[in-house]
Chains A and B, each alone.
With several copies, the nearest count.
Chain A
Amino acid sequence: MLTTLRIQAEDFDLAEQYSLLRSSSPATTEIGAIVTFTGLVREFEPRSRDHNDDGGALDGMRLQHYPGMTEKLLQGIIDDAAQRWPLLAVTVIHRVGHLAPCDQIVFVGVASEHRQPAFQAAEFIMDYLKTRATFWKQITIDGQPRWVDSKDSDTTAARRWDAQCDG
């Protein structure tokens, strides 16, 4: 399986990533399905749990991560996905540093023979990335920076896959 894993300040190009997934697998003619996920910076963030602000329009965002640990965790998530589903290629790219509304944040791409493993692995990787990978978002609204709260819905999303293991 071809694995591409990058943490970078620069933007990424979906077409380039798709082309890599489509062409560089050891068995390109076996690929029947490619699923891509792209996460983008939304302009409006909901109200914080801990703060009394009303949410509002984002000036921008800063993404911090833990170099060394993040790569290790993401590689572990990709390896887990490859254990669960027959995958031909996986790409994960996560940006760090300063981002503006509408910017691309994260890319997950999965190539497989069939659509179900591709969909499920892409969703699995995103669910685990959201709950386990060492990234932290700080958003700025009206000039005020604040750290984003983690979401219960993300924890619930990741737990779906745990339940599948038990069953």
Chain B
Amino acid sequence: MAENPATGWWGTLRLIRLHFFGRLSDLATQVPSRCAGETPHAIRQWLAEDFPELAVQLNEPQVLVSVNHCIVDWQTPLTDGDEVAFLPPVTGG
């Protein structure tokens, strides 16, 4: 597994909590619940190294990303303590 940037000594530490839902949750059982990353996009790229199957799903255009419960752009800058969730199309109701 690639070194988790959250545990590295370099750069600013941005400890991000990760959540995966729907079909993504089945593919993300081995993903650490916290990591570092400058943007959701950077986290997705980091995940691709060790979880290629998950990364394919994360790259689907229908998958949205939220930060602290708000849907955001993949390039949104993250700050320490942010909660990032990867959301496949919802199917409730």
Question: 1/0 per position for B35-55, CB-CB distance to A under 8 A?
Answer: 000000000000000000000
Q: How many A-B residue pairs have CB under 8 A?
A: 68
Q: Which residue of B lies closest to A50 (CB)?
A: B23
Contact B85 A69 (CB under 8 A): yes
Question: 1/0 per position for B80-93, CB-CB distance to A under 8 A?
Answer: 00000101111111
Which residues of the partner chain A approach B92 to less than 8 Å between Cβ atoms?
63, 65, 94, 105-106, 129-130, 133-137
Q: Is the C-beta of A132 less than 8 angstroms from some C-beta in chain B? A: yes
Q: Is the C-beta of A46 less than 8 angstroms from some C-beta in chain B? A: no
Partner of A150, one of B25, B66, B85, B91: B91
The CA of A44 and the CA of B26, in the complex, are separated in Å by 24
The CA of A136 and the CA of B22, in the complex, are separated in Å by 5
A128-148 residues with Cβ-Cβ distance < 8 A to B are 129-138, 147-148
User: Interface extent on B, as a size class?
Assistant: 10 to 19
Instruction: Tally A residues with Cβ within 8 Å of B.
Output: 29
In whole Å, how far is A143's beta carbon from the nearest beta carbon of chain B? Answer: 16
Could you tell me the dominant secondary structure of chain A's interface residues? Answer: mixed
Contact B91 A136 (CB under 8 A): yes
Q: Is the C-beta of B62 less than 8 angstroms from some C-beta in chain A? A: yes
The CA of A134 and the CA of B22, in the complex, are separated in Å by 10
Q: Is the C-beta of B14 less than 8 angstroms from some C-beta in chain A? A: no
In whole Å, how far is B50's beta carbon from the nearest beta carbon of chain A? Answer: 22
Which residues of the partner chain B approach A64 to less than 8 Å between Cβ atoms?
21-22, 25
Contact A132 B90 (CB under 8 A): yes
Partner of A135, one of B19, B23, B62, B93: B93
Q: Is the C-beta of A43 less than 8 angstroms from some C-beta in chain B? A: no
Q: A106-B92, A149-B89 are in contact. List 8 more A-B contacts (CB 8 A).
A: A63-B92, A66-B19, A115-B93, A130-B93, A131-B90, A136-B90, A137-B91, A150-B90
